[in-house]
Amino acid sequence: MCRLMGFVSCQPETFAAAAGANLSEFIDLSDIHCDGWGISAIEHGAKKTQLNKAAEVARTSPDFESAITNTSTDGALLHLRWATAGIPVSEKNSHPFMHDGYTFIHNGAVYPKDALDPYIADQLRQYILGDTDSEKYFYFLLTEIKKLGLIEGIKSALAIIKEIDFSSINAMILTDSQFITICEHDPDRKPSWAGDGYYDLYYKITEKDVVVASSGWNQDGWKQLPNHQILVVDRSTLAINVLAI
Percent of the chain beyond pLDDT 70? 100
Please report, as a single letter, which amino acid is at residue 237. T
Q: What is the pLDDT of residue 16?
A: 97
pLDDT at 242 over 90: yes
Q: pTM for this one? A: 0.97
Average pLDDT of the chain, as a whole number: 96
Instruction: Provide φ and ψ at 117, rounded to 5°.
Output: -50, -45
Does domain 2-244 bear CATH number 3.60.20.10?
A: yes
Residue 237's contacts (CB-CB under 8 Å, 6 or more residues apart) are none
Average pLDDT of 38-65? 95
Instruction: Provide φ and ψ at 157, rounded to 5°.
Output: -65, -45
Residue 106's contacts (CB-CB under 8 Å, 6 or more residues apart) are 2, 4, 95, 134, 137, 138, 169, 170, 171
DSSP 226: P
For residues 104 and 172, the answer to whether their CB atoms sit within 8 Å is yes
Minimum mean pLDDT range among 36-40, 113-117, 148-152, 193-197: 193-197
Average pLDDT of 41-50? 93
Q: What is the pLDDT of residue 46?
A: 86
Give me the residues paired with residue 182 across strands: 171, 230
* Residue 85 pLDDT class (50, 70, 90 cuts): confident
